[in-house]
Amino acid sequence: MAKPLELDEKTASLLTDTLNGMLYGTVQIVVHEGRIVQIDKTDRKRFDPSGDELSNKRREAR
C-alpha cells in the first residue's frame, strides 16, 4: 500500500519557488517511500517567429 505523501513547509516552499516565473516547461517530482526526494525542472524559452525581441520581453513579463 502506498504511503501518504509527506510535504513539509520547506518542500512546499521549494516547489512554489520552482514553479514561480515559469512560462513554459516541465517540473518532474520524484517520490520515494512517500517523500519527495528530487525535483527536476526543464525551463523552455519560446521565441516569436518574426524575431521581434520586444514581443518576447512582453511575454516574459507576464
Domain that holds residue 35: 9-61
Asked if residue 30 belongs to a domain, the reply is yes
Q: What's the domain count of the chain?
A: 1
**Local confidence band at 60 (pLDDT 50, 70, 90 cut-offs):** low
Structure confidence by residue, pLDDT tens digits, 24-56 = 999 999 998 888 999 999 998 888 777 665 555
Asked if residue 1 belongs to a domain, the reply is no
Q: Which residue matches cell numbers 517523500?
A: 35
Q: How far apart, in whole angstroms, are the C-alpha atoms of residue 40 and residue 29?
A: 7
Beta bridge partners of 38: 30
Asked if residue 39 belongs to a domain, the reply is yes
Q: Record the pTM.
A: 0.63
Mean pLDDT, residues 16-25: 91
Asked if residue 18 belongs to a domain, the reply is yes
Rg (CA), the chain: 16
CB under 8 Å to 40, separation ≥6 — which residues?
27, 28, 30
